[in-house]
Structure 1
Amino acid sequence: MDQWEVHEGVPVMEASHLDRQCKGSSIVRVFRCALSYVLIFALAWVIIGLIAPREVDPDPEAVREYLSFWESFLSYLRTGVVMFLLIGAPTIVIVVVAGIFHRKMEPPIFRAVVTVLILMPAWFLLFSNTVQMLLLQVAAQVLFSTAVMPVPLIPKSESQRVPKG
């Protein structure tokens, strides 16, 4: 009961305990946000690997032969890992920084702004050899920012004291 005190007949949580609780929940929310983005990104690249055209065999002796389905699938997954470094990591940084500094925008406006911002790292997929890469990556970015991303990322502490129950 040391974290609670009675103020004007109402049990309230002490500010120091509330600060520790908010910091912990903020870190958990940021971690969950990043993890959910990684899962959506990975799912998008699995789908790309399944539906994109099979890749041409890179062996110079093979004349216009295509890789088997599984070899092509694994090739797309390897490409997905590289794309995570080029698209996914900057997206997570953008989302976390925007979430930390977001204070006055309404959630729908904030989601729209973040959607535009996180589409920027995917610009070079405009030059990819298959349209599936671009469309599915853009769909993953939009899905994350409009439906999955927690808003606000870092909850504001409404007051120093929170009534119990």
Structure 2
Amino acid sequence: MRRVLERAGRCVLTYAVLYAVTWVVIALLVSPEDSYTDVMWLGLGMLVITGIPTLLLALLAGLAHRRMDVTTFRATLAFPMMFFAWPLIGANYPQPLVLQVLCQIAFAAYLMPAPLVPENWTAKPR
């Protein structure tokens, strides 16, 4: 149980750091019309719409992941995570949408610890 909680904590911490870095980059790249603090507040608000559902999906899928190869699991998980960035379609600039989608893909494809419960993993490595 301790190992699962450590991996889940690492999952949450990794996503939080990646999300913060993504929004710092977005704040630096958007037009000078918008202030840095306004963009960072927008990023904090987007955490509720984008970040929390992503983390819930990652944790639930990671706990349920038992039979699929890790590479296939990551590719399968990256696709639905991209849809959580949909509110950014209405942004004035393309950077928030593009960078948030890249953040979601990077987390699912490379940074998420998978599987979260290695003891239950029954897949055969390729």
TM-score (norm 2): 0.91
Correspondences of 1:88-107 after superposition (within 5 Å): 88-107=51-70
Specify which structure has the higher proportion of strand: 1
CA deviation profile, 1:115-159 (whole Å, cap 9, x unmatched): 01211211121121110000110111111111111111221258x
Question: Is this contact kept in 1: 2:66–2:120, CA < 8 A?
Answer: no
Residues 63 and 117 of structure 2 are in contact (CA less than 8 Å); yes or no, is this contact kept in structure 1?
yes
- Tell me how far apart the structure 2 counterparts of residues 124 and 51 of structure 1 sit (CA, whole Å): 19
Determine helix, strand or coil for the equivalent of 2:76: helix
- Pair 1:79 & 2:57 matched: no
Look up the equivalent residue of 2:98 and give its one-letter code: L
Structure with the largest fraction of helix: 2
Structure 1 residue aligned with 2:30 = 52
When normalised by structure 1's length, the TM-score is: 0.70
CA distance in 2, matches of 1:145, 1:157: 20
The CA deviation at 1:54 is 2.2
Q: Percent identity?
A: 34
Amino acid of the structure 2 residue aligned with 1:102: H
In the aligned structure 2, how far is the partner of 1:79 from the partner of 1:149? 25
Match of 1:39 in 2: 17
State the match for 1:114 in structure 2. 77
- CA distance in structure 2 between the partners assigned to 1:138 and 1:44 by the alignment: 10
Letter of the structure 2 residue corresponding to residue 76 of structure 1: V
Paired AA for residue 21 in structure 2: L
Aligned partner of residue 137 in structure 1, secondary structure: helix
Secondary structure, aligned partner of 1:129: coil
Structure 1's unaligned 5+ residue stretches are: 1-22, 57-71, 159-165
Runs of 4 or more consecutive aligned structure 1 residues displaced over 4 Å after TM superposition: none
Asked if 1:136 is matched to 2:99, the reply is yes
2:108 to 138, 141, 145: 145
* 5+ residue gaps, structure 2: 122-126
Amino acid at match of 1:101: A
Larger radius of gyration: 1
